[in-house]
């Protein structure tokens, strides 16, 4: 990819040599790595905020999602939405476990915080290789990609993750078994679930590019609509291990809405092509 961009840059700017573009690439990589390192160091010293307010907060009965569901249950005169306390404790099983996760989470947090700066640097690097029309469309595409991923990330963190923790954390086979969850298991789920939902929410952006290249059409998506409903329900069942139909539908409806939005996007792309 970088080799392709460097060749395009060299073709577009004849007064600039290939090796000068290599230097620009090296500068971009160094600045990005330094930004990640700097923000990782900063987040390392924000341990209490990152762990107590972000990572460990979903296991607290005071988490905003549980309070909203409980208020909704009171409005609907049902106690089933008031989920109650989460009956499990976190344990560390290795000597350097807590310090290792402190380092890992600091690096992940540093990367997330540095993403805007990295994208800004990347934009300045690739911009000379783009035409004016490509620059306009790429700006819009980047905005939608970031928006969809961020929305999916928040959806996963504030809805899917707490419902998963509530169900699996309180699930017992017998009164003789006590749930003691390792921090490896807990933190892995906290990181993976929101990230997975964020990636799934990129479906409209993916369909846009597939429609542009004529790999997928709106007619094809409409014909597969009945199959998409089955796939959405299966994905919702996997993401939310709870057997509660309400919880499953909370996840399934937005996922199916994404499929319908993808059909609309494919139609828009086809109409623009027909006008041309």
The pLDDT tens digits for 39-73 are: 999 999 999 999 999 999 988 888 888 888 888 88
pLDDT digits (tens, 9 = 90+) for 182-215: 998 899 888 888 888 888 888 888 888 778 777 7
User: Would you call 90 helix, strand, or coil by DSSP?
Assistant: strand
Q: Coil, strand or helix: which one is 80?
A: coil
Question: What is the mean pLDDT of the segment spanning 242-246?
Answer: 58
Query: What are the CB-based long-range contacts (under 8 Å, 24+) for 34-41?
Result: 35/114, 35/117, 35/118, 36/107, 36/110, 36/111, 36/114, 36/118, 37/110, 38/110, 38/114, 39/109, 39/110, 39/111, 39/113, 39/114, 40/106, 40/107, 40/109, 40/110, 40/111, 41/106, 41/110
Give the helix/strand (H/E) hosting 151. helix 132-155
More confident residue, 41 or 220: 41
Is the model's pLDDT at 222 over the cut of 90?
A: no
Are the C-beta atoms of 141 and 265 separated by less than 8 Å?
A: no
Among candidates 117, 113, 136, which has minimal Cα distance to 125?
117
Compute the average pLDDT of residues 106-116: 88
Q: Please check the confidence at residue 11 and state whether its pLDDT lies above 60.
A: no
Q: Name residues whose C-beta falls within 8 Å of residue 131's C-beta, 6 or more positions apart in sequence.
A: none
pLDDT of residue 44: 95
H/E stretch holding 43:
helix 18-44
CA 78 – CA 246 distance, rounded (Å) = 13
State the first-to-last Cα distance of the chain, in angstroms, to the nearest integer.
29
Q: How confident is the model at residue 123 (pLDDT cuts 50, 70, 90)?
A: confident
**Beta bridge mates, 91:** 182
Q: In sequence order, what DSSP letters do the residues of 213-267 get, joined into one string?
A: TTSS-HHHHHHTHHHHHHHHHHHHHHH-----HHHHHHHHHHHHHHHHHHHHHHH
Q: What percent of the chain has pLDDT over 90?
A: 14
Bridge partners of 87, per DSSP, are none
Examine the pLDDT at 5 and tell me if it is beyond 70: no
Interatomic CA distance for residues 36 and 107, integer angstroms: 7
Mean pLDDT of the chain: 81
3 state SS of 182? strand
Tell me, what's the pLDDT at 239?
67
Looking at the DSSP assignment, which residues form a beta bridge with residue 90? 181
Q: At what angle do helices 245-275 and 161-170 cross, to 10 degrees?
A: 150
Which of the two residues, 242 and 163, has the higher pLDDT score?
163
The pLDDT, as a whole number, for residue 247 is 64
Query: Each residue of 171-180: pLDDT tens digit?
Result: 778 888 888 8
DSSP 127: G
In which band, very low, low, confident or very high, does the pLDDT at 161 lie, cut at 50, 70 and 90? confident
For the segment 66-102, what is each residue's pLDDT rounded down to a tens digit? Answer: 888 888 888 888 776 777 677 788 999 889 999 999 9
Q: In this prediction, what percent of the chain has a pLDDT beyond 70?
A: 84
């Amino acid at each position: 990819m970088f080799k392709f961009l460097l060749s395009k840059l060299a073709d577009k700017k004849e007064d600039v040599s290939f090796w000068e573009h290599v230097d620009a690439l090296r500068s971009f990589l160094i600045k990005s790595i330094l930004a990640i390192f700097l923000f990782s160091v900063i987040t390392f010293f924000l341990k209490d905020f990152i762990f107590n307010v972000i990572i460990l907060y979903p296991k607290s009965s005071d988490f905003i999602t549980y309070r909203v569901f409980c208020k909704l249950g009171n409005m609907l005169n049902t106690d089933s939405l008031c989920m109650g306390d989460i009956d499990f404790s976190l344990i560390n099983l290795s000597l350097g476990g807590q310090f290792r996760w402190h380092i890992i989470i600091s690096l992940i947090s540093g990367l997330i915080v540095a993403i805007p700066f990295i994208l800004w640097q990347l934009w300045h690097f690739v911009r000379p290789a783009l035409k004016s029309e490509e620059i306009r469309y790429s700006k819009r595409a980047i905005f939608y990609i970031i928006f969809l991923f961020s929305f999916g990330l928040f959806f996963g963190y504030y809805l899917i993750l707490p419902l998963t923790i509530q169900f699996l954390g309180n699930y017992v086979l017998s009164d003789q078994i006590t749930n003691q969850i390792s921090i490896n298991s807990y933190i892995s789920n906290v990181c993976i679930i929101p990230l997975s939902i964020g990636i799934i929410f990129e479906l409209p952006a993916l369909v846009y590019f597939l429609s542009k290249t004529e790999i997928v059409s709106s007619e094809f998506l409409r014909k597969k609509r009945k199959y998409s409903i089955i796939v959405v329900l299966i994905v919702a069942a996997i993401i939310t291990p709870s057997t509660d139909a309400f919880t499953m539908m909370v996840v399934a409806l937005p996922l199916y809405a994404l499929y319908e939005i993808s059909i609309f996007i494919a139609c828009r792309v086809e109409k623009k092509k027909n006008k041309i």
